Amino acid sequence: MSARIEGSGLEEVVAATTRLSDVDGEHGRLVLAGYPVEDIAGRVDFEDAIYLLFTGALPTAAQRSSLREALGDAREAAFERMGELGDALALPDAMDALRASVAHLGVVAGEEPLSEAVRIVSAVAVFAAAWAHQPAPLRPDPRLPHAADYLRMVAGRTPTTAEVAALDAYLVTVIDHGMNASTFAARVVASTASDTVSAVVAAIGALKGKLHGGAPGPVLDMLDAIGEPEQARAWVTAALARGERVMGMGHRVYRVRDPRAFVLERAIAELEASSNASSPIGRRLRLARAVEKEAEAQLAARHPDRPLKANVEFYTAVLLEALGLPRTLFTPTFASSRAAGWCAHVDEQRTHGRLIRPKSRYVNLPAPTR
């Protein structure tokens, strides 16, 4: 017998005060350090968003270029350290490899929070790209903007300006998102006065799950299985009848369409506009839109009181595929951006927070039979 304890998902519980982001689930609004996501994603670089999280303001050109240089140097340093990672990057699952390799990063005494974030964010990107290129990972090019170099290290070719812009739009979109599960995990670890690397390792573990950051790969598997827009209805009907969840649909907080879905859909459309006529992006986008429409309608019929609409992962899948990333790298790429958010939350928790230690309610039930 299993008992569902009321409130066990901590819905509505406020666990921290933050200036980093605000998620308004009723109205579908996401604000990143004062800026609506749709106003900055696709308009500023990933470097700018990192700077914004840590300082509360967008950088000047000089500040951007100095942060870009610091990220480049840190990517190089992370690459140089890869010999110390043992067989971490040989693990078959990319997120396992990321968790194990990031765990090797040490604590640097007296390091400033932004410098520490730069070191960790760069390492996540380098390790993720290296995992995809085992046994001969590509060396970072520290002169490149972060998104351009990440794409280059993953794809093994120089990306186009439009591809870099699309990846920047993605990285900015997902850099932070309220008290999501991985950020909460990071803050819980930080609240014990542990170090930032330990907090990020915990967050990577939380992000891996398919209810959190692990959904975009399965979204593409679903699109592959459906194949054509005309098949969407029958496929969704059958999946729901089997009791399956439609990946990329539904959200714990949003009761309307996830605002990040709009931003990413816009980025995909811009990428498509810059691609040649033979590009498969447009076809994929049309399929995704058909599946979303069908899934939204059928979920609304099944759950009239619980709106279940597209979340960030739905169009993440389409965007990252269009950029040529293997689906095994989707969640690590998410981590390569969110790592900045985790580090900023760790800094905030350390500065203002208290030990996070909720209570449990004891119920005298027999152990479940399995």
CB 367 within 8 A of CB 43: no
Report how far Cα 343 is from the mean position of its chain's Cα atoms: 14
Of 28 and 145, CB closest to ligand COA: 28
Does 313 qualify as catalytic in the annotation?
yes
Instruction: Point out which span in 126-134, 200-208, 240-248, 337-345 binds ligand COA (CB under 6 A).
Output: 240-248
Instruction: Point out which span in 70-78, 114-122, 196-204, 243-251 binds ligand COA (CB under 6 A).
Output: 243-251
d(CA 25, CA 11): 12
For 103, the token pair is 């765990």
Of 272 and 296, CB closest to ligand COA: 296
Contacts of 48 (CB under 8 A, 6+ apart): 40, 58, 59, 64, 172
Give the shortest CB-247-to-ligand COA separation in angstroms. Answer: 5
d(CA 161, CA 146): 13
Of 122 and 311, CB closest to ligand COA: 311
Of the candidates 146, 177, 212, 251, the residue annotated as catalytic is 251
3-state secondary structure of 114: helix
Radius of gyration of the chain (CA): 20
Position 232 contacts ligand COA (CB under 6 A)? no
Of 211 and 273, CB closest to ligand COA: 211
Of the candidates 163, 296, 313, 348, the residue annotated as catalytic is 313
According to CB under 6 A, which residues from 134 to 163 bind ligand COA? none
Of 151 and 236, CB closest to ligand COA: 236
Q: Report the candidate in 347, 81, 346 with the shortest Cα–Cα distance to residue 202.
A: 346
According to CB under 6 A, which residues from 174 to 203 bind ligand COA? none
Give the shortest CB-240-to-ligand COA separation in angstroms. Answer: 6
Give the shortest CB-295-to-ligand COA separation in angstroms. Answer: 7
Cα of first residue to Cα of last residue in the chain, in angstroms, is: 9
According to CB under 6 A, which residues from 245 to 274 bind ligand COA? 245-252
d(CA 127, CA 200): 14
Neighbours of 333 (CB within 10 A): 28
Instruction: Point out which span in 14-22, 72-80, 239-247, 275-283 binds ligand COA (CB under 6 A).
Output: 239-247
Give the shortest CB-87-to-ligand COA separation in angstroms. Answer: 30
CB 298 within 8 A of CB 237: yes
Of 88 and 185, CB closest to ligand COA: 185
Which of 7, 9, 56, 227 binds ligand COA (CB under 6 A)? It is 9
For residues 132-168, one letter each, b for 16 or more C-beta atoms within 10 angstroms of the residue's C-beta and e for the rest, the string is beeeebbebebebbbbbbbbbbbbeeebeebbbbbbb
Give the shortest CB-314-to-ligand COA separation in angstroms. Answer: 7
CB 236 within 8 A of CB 291: yes
Of 203 and 308, CB closest to ligand COA: 308
Peptide bond into 332 cis (omega under 30): no
According to CB under 6 A, which residues from 299 to 318 bind ligand COA? 299, 303, 306, 308, 311-313
Binding mask 203-222 for ligand COA (x = CB under 6 A): --------x---x-------
Kindly list the residues in this chain that would bind ligand COA in the complex (CB under 6 A): 9, 211, 215, 245-252, 299, 303, 306, 308, 311-313
Known catalytic residues? 251, 313
